[in-house]
Each structure stands twice: as structure tokens, then as C-alpha cells.
A and B are shown apart, each in its own frame.
Chain A
Amino acid sequence: MNHLAAKRKSLTEWLVTTPSFVWLIIFFVLPTITIFAIAFRPTNIDGGIGGGWTLDTWRSLANPNYPVIVWRTLRLSVATTFICLAFAVPCGYFMARVRDSWRQTLLLLVVVPFWTNFLVRVFAWRELLHPEGWLKQGLVFLGLASPDAQLLYNEYAVLLVLIYTHLPFAILPVYAAAEKFDFRLMEAARDLGAGALRAFWNVFIPGISRGLLTAFLVVFIPALGSYVIPDIMGGPSGEMIGNKIAQRTFSDRNWPHASGLSALLTLAVLGPMVVVLMLQGRKQPSPGGEKKT
């Protein structure tokens, strides 16, 4: 390729990428920087942002309550992610293998919950788990729960609804990857002596790894930021960091403090994302073929 053509190509690339780049800067990078910046501002008396710079917010983040809440947030998000993946993998596998007509029905069933408003679905769970709710009554009747057991307002109630709401988001990317998976590879593994489970682990799981990574991201990141679910289901003993941010913003009108917490959460989200991106980058085989050492 001659010099001029190369130059033209790079110009075209610029023109094509600029709009999305500008979009990202305006709606993602600038707001993020703003939030980080506000965390270094003092509060003012009206519940707004004062002038000058201070580290007060960051000092107050050392509040001993926070580590408990941050730890709970991480724990619930990680548990939600792994339980969702554990359900999504067999679901995706099954959906990719069934007959076409069945597959459409199953896909519809996965998407059906989205037709009901999110808040309504969360409230429905509240009704189910309520001491007078029929799920609770049913469990008591079957002897699986004691009559005075509290199903609502604890971490497990939050976890249950987190899993319930995020499961479709895990199933869809896993299914998309499984649908493209070449199941003859499983036969090849069986042919070479692997049992069914072994073939599943050695061939199917690596084969859908991109779908798993996507599922991980689309479950883990929203779970970390959840606020409505712990608010409705959790009560004080099920609070997550999202509740604290909301509290600081709406009740306390302490924007710098809310920003500080948001910044922490952003860092917590970016951390795993960078790890995932690095893993994905490593999966691309280098053109020359890497040497085993």
C-alpha cells in the first residue's frame, strides 16, 4: 500500500470513530471525572457543593460502618453472579440443544419477566415472603420453615431477588455463545475417551468463555450498584452501598459524601472489568503462535 492510501485510510478511521469517541467523553468520562471531583469539595449549608478543595469526605469514608456495607455489597454481588452463572450454563446448554420450536418457546419464557415492571416484580416477592404471604405459609405448612421465621428483611431475601432479577441477563449471553458452539467438539472429546462431564468442562465451558465473561459483567456490575432491591427487601440488615449513596444524596443532601461513595463503587467496578478485559486480550492468539515455555 502506498503512503497516500495509508494516510487516507487513517483519516477515514478517524472520521468513523470520532462521533462515538465524543459521545463517550461527554456522557461517560466527564460525568465520572465530575463525580470524582465533587468528592474533593466541601459541602455547603444549603445541601449543595461548596467552593475550594478538601479531603473531609475521604476522611469520613473511614466510618467503621462502611467496611461492613462494602463487604456485604461485594459478597452479595459475587454470590449473585456465581449462582446466576451456575443456573445460566445448564440453561444455555439445554436451550442450544433442543429442537428449534422448543427453543423459541424457552427464549420467550426467559424474556417474559421483562414485560412486567421491575418494581412490581420486586414488590411481588415482598408479598410472597411476607409473614402472611402464601410462600411463607406454604413453607410453614410443609414444615420447611418455623412459623416465626423472618423471610423478609435480611441478606438472603436480597440475594434471592438479586438472583431472580439478574438471571435472564446471565442466560441470554450464555445461550448466545452456546448456540454458536460446535457440539461436534463434544463428540470429539467423547470419542477421545472423555466422559460426558469431562467433555463438558474441557470443551463446552472454554467454548462459551466469551459468553460467560459477558454474563459475568452484565450481572456483577449492576448487582454491585443495586439499590432498589436491598431497599425494598433488605431493611437495615440488608443494606448495600447503593442504599448509602441514595441516603447521602436524598436524605442527608451531602453530595460530596455521596460522590465519594460512588467513586469507590466505580473503582470497585472498574477493577474486575480491567481484569476481564485483560483475560479476554490474552485469549486472542498471537499471529505467530506463542511458544510454550
Chain B
Amino acid sequence: MSGENSIEIVDVTKRFGSFTAVDNVSLSIKRGEFFSLLGPSGCGKTTLLRMIAGFEQPEVGQLILNGDDITRLPPNERKVNTIFQSYALFPHMTLWDNIAYGLKIARRSSREIKSEVEKMLSLIQMEDHAYKKPDQISGGQKQRVAIARALINKPQVLLLDEPLAALDLKLRQRMLIELDNIHDEVGITFIYVTHDQGEAMSLSDRIAVMNKGRIEQIGKPGEIYEAPRSSFVAAFIGDTNFFEGTVAEAIDDDYNRTRVDGLGDVICFNDKNIQLNAPIHLSIRPEKFRISRDQPEAQPKHNVLSGVVEDIVYLGSHTRYWVRTGDYRISINQQHGRFLLDERPIKWKDHVFVWWHADDGFMLEQYSESDEQLMTLPDAPATTVS
């Protein structure tokens, strides 16, 4: 079969009673790739991972590891290892024995085990703690031991089930870099399950966004973020503004004029070849907008709207504005440039102009209104001025 694919998932379905956890999923993951399964809880990402590990059996479909069908193999006969969310270190064993466990099972010579375990301990910089028990070390250290315990078996694929979820923010950021370094060092395929878009974006070569047991979109982090296929992907990864309208006029091959009810006409980049009078849904990320009190110079392919600032949230690296224009409340991120004392900042109830380039609006193939609930800052905070 295909030589460059590490794992192939073919039409896999898994049900628990009447609940379909994984619904006809197909996926190919390349050798050495850092691949993430991203989605909200209950989307089937963990079930998919557990099927690859061998803890769950699919009702339908096939799992192929380096060309071999492993669908019916028990977990101990698969050349994959798992980092569990809870780490699952054996509490009655020392860290040394934990790391050595896989090699002991494989009946390797004690000399070999010793040298391999020492190599791993130095990789995770835990040489001084080798004879401690798991309950005597910190969360970050447990995490590293779990990685060492898995990697010592030289798996063809390493499965990571929300491995950073139990750590605090600073440690999570450090472990993120460490994981990335380890992946570069060992060069094997990583399959990483997470609900945290930030983790998935910063680590992955490719991401599969999952929703309700199905894969919504597969792509590089940039593609997923900039060119979301559905409103789910657009709203789950980062924040966005949705606009609903119909195509009113084709300007040229690439651009058309779209009538958005309650807002007016906007110019859209038409990469989906949508016909006249067809309904469309547009997603525009908050950081794609510019905002100013002064009217911008007219430029081609730019849309300019005017509105009133309803809310402002200062977020350190940027400020989020909610601007009322027509029937819409647009959320806008403005990064801070040089901080100028004499600059008059935008305030509540200021009349402002909002503009964006037509290329920054992205047409969605699928739209569902409920997806608007997914955004991290879906609406203004409670301090709304009345």
C-alpha cells in the first residue's frame, strides 16, 4: 500500500448504544507528521484515538498501520504507544521501573534495559528522580515520565490524549515547546488529541477538526484558520463574524457584490464560483478589520462601513471593539502599535469607520446558526451601555 502513510483510517464508525461517537471517518496520516485531532468534548476525537490504540473496536472500517491491518489486534500487539491525559503512571513502581516496564515486558536483557532507561531519563532530564514514586513528583515531571515510558518502546506512532490538559498555563506553554522538540528529535508520527485550538495550531503539521463524530475539515493550521470550510470550523478556531446575504452582481471573475440584509452591499472574493442570487454566508475574522474615527481614503476592493462603538475590552496585546452597524454587531480586534500619550483612544459611543479588504471575507460552504455559540468572546460582556 502507500509507503508514505503511517496510519490510514478507512471508513471507521463506532457506536456506543444509540450514540454514534465516530461516524464514517477516513483519514491518512503521513509518516513523521505531527497530526492533531481538534474538537469540542464529545466530538469523537478521543474515541478515534482509543481505536488506534486498540482500546475500542470500530463496528465498521479498517485501521492500517504502515500497510498492516491492525483493526482487530489487541493493544499490546500494536506498535503504537499512548500518553494518557492522567499520565497513568504505575503508582507502586519507581519512575525507573515505570520507564523500564515496556522493555521488561519485551524481555530485553537487563543491561540493555539499564542503558535505554538511562538514555530516556537524560532525554527528559529526570536522572536525579529515577527512584522516586510518581506521587512524589510534580505534574510536569509526570508528563515527561509518561513520554519517556512510551517512547522507550520506539513506537511507530505516538498517541497523545490531551496531554497538557492537567497542567497550569505557564507549564503548558513550556511543555508545548518540549513536545515540539521531542517530536523533532525522535521523528515518529504524533497523533495529538486536544480541544485547545492554540495547542493544535502551534504544534501541528496538519489538523483534523472534528464535530459530532465527523471530520469537518483537514488542513494545515493556516488553511484551517484562514479558509474555514464551515461555520463550525470558523467559530471553533478563533473568533469570527458571520454575515448572511445573496449575490447581487458579478463584478469580474473573482469578485462579486453581495447584498447583506440589514447592512448593505459588500464586495466579496468569490473563490467558490457562486452564482447570481445564490445565498452565501461570509466569515470575517475580527483582526481583519481596521477601525478609525477618521474616514479612510477610498481604495479598490475595500469595504467601508460606519457605526457606533458599543463595547470595548482591553486584552493587553490587543483591544476588542464591538461596533454596531446596521443590524450587525461586528467584533473587531485592533492591535496596539506604538503607545502614544497624546493619541485620543476610541471610546464608547464614538462614531467610527470600519473597513476591510474583500479578500479577507471568506465564503463558507456550510453554515449552522448554533455554531455562533462556540466563540470564546461571543458577545459583549455584561457592562453593555444602554
Given A182-B88, A184-B84, A189-B101: A285 and B133 within 8 A (CB)? yes
Q: Is A188 an interface residue (CB 8 A)?
A: yes
User: Does B86 interact with chain A (Cβ within 8 Å)?
Assistant: yes
Contact flag A292-B96 (CB < 8 Å), given A184-B86, A190-B54: yes
Per-position 1/0 for B66-98, Cβ under 8 A of A: 000000001110001110101011111010100
A281 at the interface (CB under 8 A from B): no
Looking at chain A's contact residues, the main secondary structure is helix
B107 to chain A, nearest CB (A): 10
Q: Which residues does chain B contribute within 8 Å of A187, judged by CB atoms? A: 53, 55, 75, 82, 84, 88
CA distance A54 to B75 in the complex (A): 69
CB distance from B26 to the nearest CB of A (A): 24
A19 at the B interface (CB under 8 A): no
Enumerate A183-215 residues with CB–CB distance to B below 8 Å.
Answer: 184-185, 187-196, 198, 202-203, 206-207, 209
Alpha-carbon distance between A46 and B173 when the two chains are bound, in angstroms: 85
Q: B131–A190 contact, CB under 8 A?
A: no
A190 cross-chain contacts in B, Cβ below 8 A:
54-55, 74-76
A290: chain B residues within 8 A (beta carbon): 131
On chain B, the residues within 8 Å of A285 by CB distance are 133, 135-136
Could you tell me if A206 and B153 are in contact, using CB atoms closer than 8 angstroms?
A: no
Give Cα A191 to B76, complex, Å.
5
Chain B residue with the shortest CB-CB distance to A203: B90
Instruction: Please tell me if A291 contacts chain B, counting CB pairs below 8 Å.
Output: yes
Is A289 interfacial (CB 8 A cutoff)?
yes
B106 adjacent to chain A (CB < 8 Å): yes
Structural contact, B55 and A192, CB atoms closer than 8 A: no
Report B-chain residues with C-beta under 8 Å of the C-beta of A287. 136
Indicate whether B142 reaches chain A with its CB closer than 8 angstroms: no
A193 adjacent to B74 (CB under 8 Å):
no
The interface residues of chain A lying within 8 Å CB-to-CB of B341 are: none
- The answer to whether B149 touches A192, judged by C-beta atoms less than 8 angstroms apart, is yes
- Taking the closest CB of chain A, its distance from the CB of B114, in whole angstroms, is 11
CA distance A192 to B76 in the complex (A): 6
Q: Is the CB of A289 within 8 A of B82?
A: no
Q: Which of A190, A198, A207, A283 has the most CB of B within 10 A?
A: A190
The complex places the Cα of A283 from the Cα of B130 at a distance, in Å, of 18
Q: How far is the CA of A188 from the CA of B88 in the complex (A)?
A: 6
A287 to B94, CA, bound (A): 13
Give A185 to B55 CA distance when docked, in angstroms. Answer: 12
Is A192's CB under 8 angstroms from B105's CB? yes
Q: How far is the CA of A285 from the CA of B92 in the complex (A)?
A: 9
Interface string of B116-137 (1 = CB under 8 A from A): 0000000000000111110110
- The CA of A104 and the CA of B102, in the complex, are separated in Å by 37
A193 touches B92 (CB 8 A): no
Known contacts A185-B88, A190-B75, A195-B76; A289/B153 CB under 8 A: no
Partner of A192, one of B86, B92, B101: B101
CA gap between A185 and B84 in the complex, in Å: 9
Q: Are B105 and A193 in contact (CB under 8 A)?
A: yes
- Quick one: CB contact mask for A261-293 with B, threshold 8 Å, 1 for yes? 000000000000000000000010101011110
Report yes or no: B131 in contact with A193, Cβ–Cβ below 8 A.
no
A289 and B82 alpha carbons, distance in the complex (Å):
27
Contact of B129 among A184, A202, A203, A289 (CB under 8 A): A289
Asked if A292 and B131 sit within 8 Å, CB to CB, the answer is: yes
Assuming the contacts A187-B75, A192-B153, asked whether A291 and B91 have C-beta atoms less than 8 A apart, the reply is no
CB contacts under 8 Å to B, within A72-102, are none
A289 vs B74: C-alpha distance when bound (angstroms): 36
Within 8 A of B (CB), among A157-195: 182, 184-185, 187-195
> Which residues of the partner chain A approach B89 to less than 8 Å between Cβ atoms?
188
Which residues of chain A in 207-239 are interfacial with respect to chain B, using CB atoms and an 8 Å cutoff? 207, 209
B45 CB, min distance to chain A CBs, angstroms: 17
Judge whether B96 and A207 touch: CB under 8 Å: no
- Name the residue of chain A whose CB is nearest to the CB of B50: A187
CA distance A222 to B377 in the complex (A): 65
Report the minimum CB–CB distance from B151 to chain A (whole Å): 11
In the complex the two chains form, is A194's CB within 8 Å of B131's CB?
no
Tell whether, in the assembled complex, residue A184 and residue B76 are in contact, meaning their CB atoms are under 8 Å apart.
no
A189 surroundings in chain B (CB, below 8 A): 90, 101
Cα(A207)–Cα(B96), bound, Å: 18
CB distance from B281 to the nearest CB of A (A): 42
CB of A136 to closest CB in B, whole Å: 45
Complex Cα spacing A194 to B132, Å: 23
* Interface membership of chain A positions 125-166, coded 1 if the CB is closer than 8 angstroms to chain B and 0 otherwise: 000000000000000000000000000000000000000000
- Which residues of A are found within 8 Å of B91, using beta-carbon distances? 185, 207
B157 to chain A, nearest CB (A): 12
On whether A194 and B55 interact (CB within 8 A), knowing A185-B88, A207-B92, A289-B132, the answer reads: no
Most B Cβ at <10 Å: residue of A185, A191, A203: A191
Give CA–CA (A78, B84) in the complex, Å: 40
A-B contact pairs, 5 of them (CB 8 A): A189-B101, A191-B81, A207-B91, A289-B132, A289-B136
Q: Which residues of B does A touch, CB under 8 Å?
A: 53-55, 74-76, 80-82, 84, 86, 88-92, 94, 96, 101-102, 105-106, 129-133, 135-136, 149-150, 153
Query: B-contacting residues of A (Cβ < 8 Å)?
Result: 182, 184-185, 187-196, 198, 202-203, 206-207, 209, 283, 285, 287, 289-292
